[in-house]
A = this chain, B = another copy of it.
Amino acid sequence: MTAVCPGPHHEDEVVLLGHGAGGQLTAELLEGLVLPALDGQSGPLEDAALLPGHPELVVSTDGFVVSPLFFPGGDIGSLAVHGTVNDVAMRGARPVALSMALIVEEGLPLADLRRVAGSLGAAARAAGVPVVTGDTKVVGRGAADRVFVNTTGIGQRHPGLRPSAALARPGDAVLLSGPIGLHGTTVLSTREGLGFESDIASDSRPLHRLVAALAPLGERVHTLRDPTRGGLAAALNEIARDSGVAVEVEEGSVPVPDAVRSACELLGLDPLVVANEGCMVAFVAPSAAREALDALRALPEGREAVRIGEVPAGGPEGRVTLRTLVGARRVVDMPLGELLPRIC
């Protein structure tokens, strides 16, 4: 019906898998459709937002659609806790409560639902966060794929800790709390039966204790981000864009487990774009870099923390550069995003 004048909205277009993958297409969907629809609201959609009237509280929401439901290192239940706990933590907050909403397909074995709910409950207890409210909806066979989980988290900010994706500054050290690529390659390998799943497991874990360990550094902690969908490449690009800085990373210092590297080579994937669910990027003032690394390494989940790069002075705004093992430099682009659907 729009053949004569398709107009600016491309009404004949449809949602693509890549729109949900956390990369460039997701950004276009948000900026071109979702945010304008919410125009007049209080601000941009962020992973965790400040609660109006309660600036010490942050709130974050996430839908989990991972397939398969169960994978080495976790399942959709534990992932739904870790993902939201981590989004809350990345705003410098201690999670204080979670909500849980299930959308279940008719015919799901109750044993599977019990396993998912049990895992979710166990992960929440282990993280020390109560699930205070919930909802369950059931749809007919074929109207959903087994079970989807939404969690929303509310967190209380650590006094003095005010990290933001817009606060990275020239001179900052870029720290990474652990190896990358484990979650995405594990889920993909399990789903497709590639065989790597016997060697690797998702890194899904809560990161709020790492954030608490950085709290004494206060405002010298500039930016925290967990590189989930779109991987380290997306996280660094978002920070570079939102802070108006360049980011330089040393390829040799980014820990990539051998099994992840093998899986990525087979799949033609760059480990930098593979989703993680248990590591954290921190941009800290140079004076705090040593202390921050020590604080991270003092916890089991930060034992392998390393410095992977820095924010150069006067670098091109929004540009992420990798110094490769052979001394060359390459630009790390924002991933387009169609590579790994339903990874979380």
Contact = CB atoms under 8 A, between A and B. Distances in A.
Interface of A: 9-21, 26, 29-30, 33-34, 37-43, 45-54, 57, 59-65, 67, 96-97, 99-111, 113-114, 117-118, 120-121, 124-125, 130-140, 142-145, 148, 150, 152, 154, 156, 341-342
Q: In the complex, which of the residues A26, A50, A103 has the most CB atoms of chain B within 10 Å of its own CB atom?
A: A103
Given A59-B99, A101-B61, A342-B139, A9 B130 contact: no
A107 B14 contact: yes
A290 B300 CA distance: 62
Contacts of A133: 45-49, 59-61
A125 B39 CA distance: 9
Contact of A14 (B57, B110, B134, B156): B110
Contacts of A137: 20, 63-65, 342
A103 B139 CA distance: 14
A22 to B, nearest CB: 9
A279 to B, nearest CB: 20
15 contacts: A10-B110, A11-B111, A14-B108, A14-B109, A19-B104, A20-B137, A20-B138, A33-B117, A37-B121, A41-B124, A59-B133, A61-B100, A99-B152, A101-B152, A138-B341
Contacts of A103: 63, 65, 103, 148
A10 B132 CA distance: 27
A288 to B, nearest CB: 28
Nearest to A150: B150
Contacts of A125: 40-41
B48 A108 contact: no
B342 A37 contact: no
Contacts of A26: 136
A37 B111 CA distance: 12
A155 B343 CA distance: 32
- Which of A133, A156, A342 gathers the greatest number of chain B CB atoms within 10 Å? A133
Given A30-B136, A52-B96, A143-B145, 4 more contacts: A29-B136, A43-B132, A59-B133, A103-B103
B42 A106 contact: no
A118 B35 CA distance: 9
Contact of A97 (B52, B67, B120): B52
Please indicate which of the listed interface residues A11, A18, A65, A137 has the most CB atoms of chain B within 10 Å of its own CB: A137
Contact of A132 (B52, B100, B111, B124): B52
In this complex, the member of A53, A148, A341 whose beta carbon has the largest number of chain B beta carbons within 10 angstroms is: A148
Contacts of A131: 38, 41-42, 45
A18 B134 CA distance: 17
Contacts of A100: 38, 61
Contacts of A62: 101, 135
